[in-house]
Structure 1
Amino acid sequence: MKTYQPLEIVGYQHDYDHAFSIEDEYDQRISSASAVVTQLHPLLTYKKHGRQTKQYPLFFVYTPEMVSLASNFDCNSRAIQELSHKLPPVAISQFLNSLLLGEITYTNSIEGIKTDAAEISTIIRSIEFAPKGEEKRLQSTIRMYQEVQKGHLLKITALQDFRSIYDELLKGEIPADKQPNGQLFRDVLPDGSLRIGTATKTVHVPPVSELAISEALGSLIAFMNADDVPPIYKALVTHFYFENTHPFLDGNGRMGRYLLSTYLANKYDRFTGFSVATAIHAQIDSYYRIFKQADLAENRAELTFFIEEMLRILTGQQVKVLNALTEAKGKLDHADRIVHAAARNFAGDNDEKEVYGILFYLAESKLFARGRAFGIQDREIIELNADQGLSQRKTKRALAALEEAGLIEKVASRPKQHVLLLDID
């Protein structure tokens, strides 16, 4: 059985076969019943002479491998959702915050931007209490991701929407000399050129003028809002095309990953959505390789192999999330038995339900929080117990009694925070 390969490779393999026509091969692919042909025309670069073209419409072919990977992606997402439904809200919140920490760290790391995990953790925990007008670095970025966590769906229907998202997502992150210099996007290039890639390797040279950018993104808006392509394929085509267009002088990668994260979180699950940058960072060489391959004009704007590899990258990360959730669920069930026994033995003058609640919240925090900065605070325990009809006074009294008994330890005063000393591993 003939292996399905990029047109560039097929052409090279038949270099001396005069009976073979690469144009016939291309026509066969793009006109096949399993091909999806879009109205998007990415800017492609010829490998041999460096000239660029937009003559080819972006397309992909439903290969057995792609369909299988997409099915695995969908099954993994459902499994993640089913497993997460078996976890209590505090555990889910702690786990998602840990994923968010990784996502912010890695999306910046891909761009060569160093971030401090402790700083990000503090912002994630305290952002809702931050004074208005006192924006810290990354605060706006984190707030945008947290909106995704709450189920907020981005709707892009006009070019201005791209700019509005960019301004809010990267507020305070873009230096003055890299701010958009057109009406909405970049236009005049400071040194006459722009490239995507690493310090030593160019992956793509994007459109130059704001007019070309606006035309490309106008086509993308129409594609994004149509319902004729299944969500996962639409998400990956959109991701490639946005990066290919590269509408800003700086921050395109971070915005592109955020758009992909937002879409996957809404259409599939938050755990998958909050693992995009983490997954790409772990496979960054593969990511650049498939992007560069898709950017070659010799491949005639075929995105089949880009989609397949991105699905491998994303499903691989989903498996890691599933394994982490499964392990954590097992540990939480074990901790629940220990906490129940401790609550029965300790209760005394305190309400057993109240004591159990405090110990279990702290157990969740111990198992799921990524460091003390994400640990549950006393005010949150008090609020959770209040939702169960338990008074603030009783919860504070029980916290003090548990601390005195050596079952918990105070680790912070402002805001007050305790950690569990019970061995629950």
Structure 2
Amino acid sequence: MTYEKLSKIYYKSEDLYKQEYEKRFQGYGTFQTGLKIRPVQKGKHIGEPVELFIVHTHKLMKLHEEILLNSFQIRSMVEQMPAVAVQPYFDKLLINELQSTNEIEGVRSTKMELTQVLQSVKEKNLPKDKRFIGLMKTYQYLDHIKPFEAITDFRKLYDDIVAEEVDAASQPDGELFRKESVSITDGHKATHIGVFPEEQIKWHLQELIEFLEHSQTPDLYKFMLAHYYYEYIHPFYDGNGRTGRLLVCSYVARKLDKFTAITLSYTINQDKQKYYKALEELSQPLNKGEGTFYMQSLLELLRDGQKHVIEDLELGLAKLQKINTHLLHLDWADHDQKRLLATLLEVSVFAGTYHHLSNSELIEATSLSRYKVDTYLSTFESMGIATKIRQRPVTYQLNDNYIDDVLNASLNP
């Protein structure tokens, strides 16, 4: 039988709807969360509170299994990467993620701008007026964010990543969170109203912490449902989307891997309609708190992000064969020159055009002397292989024509 939404069953038969709800909520394969919401209709809370629950359907079980296997494959593929390319590759995904989370919130940012911010963070040269510094610093250490233990942790997250991006009129005006009510629209009509007043916000956030710490719900389900509940509470006037997605990403990074976690906003941005529909439908009165279909949508988005990473890594690892063949038959370069070229090519293949290692970073990565690195790069520049793109710190990039020649050469020269 097809597993249908309760809202659809309601219009077939109200008696069947009541029976089906009880059957699902009390079922052996059901995870009751203890988290309660008031359903939302036309941007208003209506009716009595209902408890969020998830039915462990076959489809959810298969998705859960697929995500765990994908994470294992990603970690295995990352281990096959050249060590020097791992962090630049993560930085590339990080910039994609931050640009996407900004776009979801209607905040304009370019990859070049975010690359410059990342460089400033790494060099600890942080201009006061630079946007996205907090967002970049926090996401960069995604897998080191500790589990939330107190409601003040939510305010700290807000202060760390978005407070400087929110205008003065939209800053929290309560003790920790917002003092007034807030409505969320889709640009045309109200779709949700946040929990109100602030004491209720605090109470719900404490319930969320208890759920994350003690619920027997499987972790991935728990994290995705925590994201919904945080968005339902909507503790701030602005910045809830960015903080809420980082919240779930930090838990996913610890459970699976940081590469899976860092792609969530990017994947959501590719299918925002699916994401927002999942959030809104879970709040609808006729669904009575069932999170099964919401969970299915969010896990599908997470899985799709993993597929993107796996395909990207497969392509990068295949290109490594081309690089190795090129260097093996390179008769004008000595061993150290080949080592430096290999490092530059590997980072270019995995990290793309916005990520380059400075001379100092190349010295650390290759264990070559500063004299050799500087001399070799000058030689590469005179040969038309590389171009100096920064003076402080001195940084070179390989020219696109050279990279194309390496990757398009026959494996059997």
Which bin holds the TM-score, normalised by the shorter protein?
A: over 0.9
- The answer for unaligned runs of 5 or more in structure 2 is 408-413
Q: Hey, what does 1:32 align to over in structure 2? A: 27
Indicate conservation of the 8 Å contact 2:45/2:193, yes or no: no
Residue 357 of structure 1: CA displacement? Answer: 1.8
Residue 184 of structure 1: CA displacement? Answer: 0.7
Select 1:218's aligned residue among 192, 200, 206. 206
- Encode CA deviations 1:320-349: one digit per residue, 9 max, x unaligned: 11111101110122112212332x5322xx
Indicate conservation of the 8 Å contact 1:235/1:263, yes or no: yes
Q: Hey, what does 1:345 align to over in structure 2? A: 332
1:385 is matched by which residue type in structure 2? T
Structure 1 CA distance for aligned equivalents of residues 47 and 206 of structure 2: 18
Structure 2 CA distance for aligned equivalents of residues 50 and 24 of structure 1: 27
Residue 188 of structure 1: CA displacement? Answer: 2.1
Q: How does 1:152-191 map to 2 (within 5 A)?
A: 152-189=144-181
Q: Secondary structure at the match of 1:225?
A: helix
Task: Name the TM-score, length of structure 2 as normaliser.
Answer: 0.93
Structure 2 CA distance for aligned equivalents of residues 64 and 261 of structure 1: 25
Structure 1 CA distance for aligned equivalents of residues 222 and 277 of structure 2: 21
- Encode CA deviations 1:180-215: one digit per residue, 9 max, x unaligned: 1110111124xxxx2224211433222121011111
Indicate conservation of the 8 Å contact 2:50/2:288, yes or no: yes
Q: Secondary structure at the match of 2:396?
A: strand
Structure 1 pair 256/54, CA: closer, same or farther in 2 (3 Å)?
farther
Residue 356 of structure 1: CA displacement? Answer: 1.8
Q: Hey, what does 1:369 align to over in structure 2? A: 351
Residue 157 of structure 1: CA displacement? Answer: 0.9
Structure 2 CA distance for aligned equivalents of residues 142 and 307 of structure 1: 28
- Encode CA deviations 1:294-328: one digit per residue, 9 max, x unaligned: 00121111100000111111111211111111011
Q: How does 1:22-421 map to 2 (within 5 A)?
A: 22-46=17-41, 51-53=45-47, 55-131=49-125, 134=128, 136-148=130-142, 151-189=143-181, 194-226=182-214, 228-342=216-330, 344-347=331-334, 352=335, 354-371=336-353, 373-386=354-367, 390-421=368-399
Residue 391 of structure 1: CA displacement? Answer: 2.4
Q: Secondary structure at the match of 2:296?
A: helix
Q: Hey, what does 2:410 align to over in structure 1? A: none
Structure 1 CA distance for aligned equivalents of residues 259 and 366 of structure 2: 27
Structure 1 pair 424/201, CA: closer, same or farther in 2 (3 Å)?
farther
Indicate conservation of the 8 Å contact 2:133/2:161, yes or no: no
2:75 is matched by which residue type in structure 1? Q
Structure 1 pair 184/54, CA: closer, same or farther in 2 (3 Å)?
farther
Residue 133 of structure 1: CA displacement? Answer: 6.7
Q: What is the RMSD of the two structures over their aligned residues, measured on CA atoms?
A: 1.9
Indicate conservation of the 8 Å contact 1:385/1:395, yes or no: no
User: Which deviates more, 392-401 or 265-274?
Assistant: 392-401
Indicate conservation of the 8 Å contact 2:7/2:287, yes or no: yes
Residue 412 of structure 1: CA displacement? Answer: 2.8
Q: Secondary structure at the match of 1:196?
A: strand
Task: Name the TM-score, length of structure 1 as normaliser.
Answer: 0.90
Residue 257 of structure 1: CA displacement? Answer: 0.6
Indicate conservation of the 8 Å contact 2:172/2:178, yes or no: yes
Indicate conservation of the 8 Å contact 2:359/2:373, yes or no: no
Structure 1 CA distance for aligned equivalents of residues 9 and 132 of structure 2: 46
Identical-pair percentage: 29
Residue 51 of structure 1: CA displacement? Answer: 4.8
Structure 2 CA distance for aligned equivalents of residues 337 and 291 of structure 1: 50
Q: Secondary structure at the match of 1:424?
A: helix
Aligned positions, number: 403
Indicate conservation of the 8 Å contact 1:363/1:420, yes or no: yes
Q: Secondary structure at the match of 1:321?
A: helix
Q: Secondary structure at the match of 2:176?
A: coil
Structure 1 pair 322/236, CA: closer, same or farther in 2 (3 Å)?
same
Residue 394 of structure 1: CA displacement? Answer: 2.6
Indicate conservation of the 8 Å contact 1:196/1:204, yes or no: yes
Indicate conservation of the 8 Å contact 1:125/1:374, yes or no: no
Indicate conservation of the 8 Å contact 1:203/1:288, yes or no: no
User: Which deviates more, 404-413 or 361-370?
Assistant: 404-413
Residue 58 of structure 1: CA displacement? Answer: 0.8
Residue 424 of structure 1: CA displacement? Answer: 1.9
Q: Hey, what does 1:11 align to over in structure 2? A: 10
Residue 22 of structure 1: CA displacement? Answer: 2.6
Indicate conservation of the 8 Å contact 2:185/2:192, yes or no: yes
Residue 379 of structure 1: CA displacement? Answer: 1.6
Structure 2 CA distance for aligned equivalents of residues 90 and 201 of structure 1: 49
Q: Secondary structure at the match of 2:191?
A: strand
Structure 2 CA distance for aligned equivalents of residues 322 and 303 of structure 1: 28
- The answer for unaligned runs of 5 or more in structure 1 is none
- Encode CA deviations 1:363-390: one digit per residue, 9 max, x unaligned: 022212332x41222221112223xxx3
